[in-house]
């Protein structure tokens, strides 16, 4: 118990929390939303058509997802050489693919919010909340879990939550007109 308490009192832990909850969200949203989304909206296809806000909301986050790929290298580098088997590398690659998928999905959501609201503070706050909450707990699928008997109900609730999340892209919370393109190009 003492080692756990000393970890949470450790200076490095406090810096890690500061980085994950404030510095990284602010820096990443400034770069990947404020600096990347407007040029993508300004770009045109070969036929001269502007990139749509929806396409921009899905293309921009690909860069955000790729920016998180360094976690694979860090995990591999910190692993002792005698543990670096093919099976472990595949597990790390699967984790990397999973992380790329959820960072890209989250990036699509905050890109959509940024395009609709043009508010860097709103997407930064969403990023802070996401980093604080983390990924949903899926330990209920383990047969030794106390929640295992409820796995179908919990899975259905997760699916409903995902559907509501997707439906929320067109909710009443956002303006019907995307704000950022109208600010960039008032003549459109």
| Active-site annotation, residues | 28, 68
Q: Torsion angle of alpha carbons 108, 109, 113, 116, nearest 10°?
A: 60
- DSSP states of the chain: -HHHHHHHHSHHHHHHHHIIIIIHHHHHHIIIIIITHHHHHH-B-TTSPBPPHHHHHHHHHHHHHHTTTHHHHHHHHHS-GGG--HHHHHHHHHHHHHHHHHHHHHHHHHHHHHHHH--HHHHHHHHHHHHHH-SPP-GGGSTTSTTGGGHHHHHHHHHHHHHHHHHGGGSTTS-SS-HHHHHH-TT-
* Cα-to-chain-centroid distance, residue 120: 15
Cα dihedral 63, 65, 67, 70, rounded to 10, equals -150
């Amino acid at each position: 118990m003492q080692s756990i308490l000393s970890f949470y009192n450790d200076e490095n832990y406090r810096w890690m929390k500061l980085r994950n909850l404030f510095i990284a969200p602010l820096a990443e949203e400034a770069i990947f939303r404020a600096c990347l989304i407007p040029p993508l909206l300004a770009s045109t296809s070969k036929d001269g058509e502007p990139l749509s806000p929806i396409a921009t909301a899905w293309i921009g986050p690909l860069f955000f997802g790729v920016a998180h790929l360094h976690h694979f290298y860090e995990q591999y580098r910190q692993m002792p050489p005698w543990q670096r088997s093919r099976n472990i590398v595949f597990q790390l690659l699967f984790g990397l693919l999973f992380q790329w998928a959820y960072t890209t999905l989250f990036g699509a959501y905050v890109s959509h919010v940024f395009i609709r609201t043009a508010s860097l503070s709103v997407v930064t706050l969403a990023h802070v909340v996401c980093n604080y909450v983390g990924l949903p707990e899926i330990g209920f699928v383990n047969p030794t879990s106390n929640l295992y008997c409820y796995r179908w109900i919990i899975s259905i609730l997760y699916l409903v939550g995902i559907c509501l999340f997707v439906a929320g892209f067109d909710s009443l919370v956002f303006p019907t007109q995307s704000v950022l393109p109208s600010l960039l190009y008032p003549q459109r």
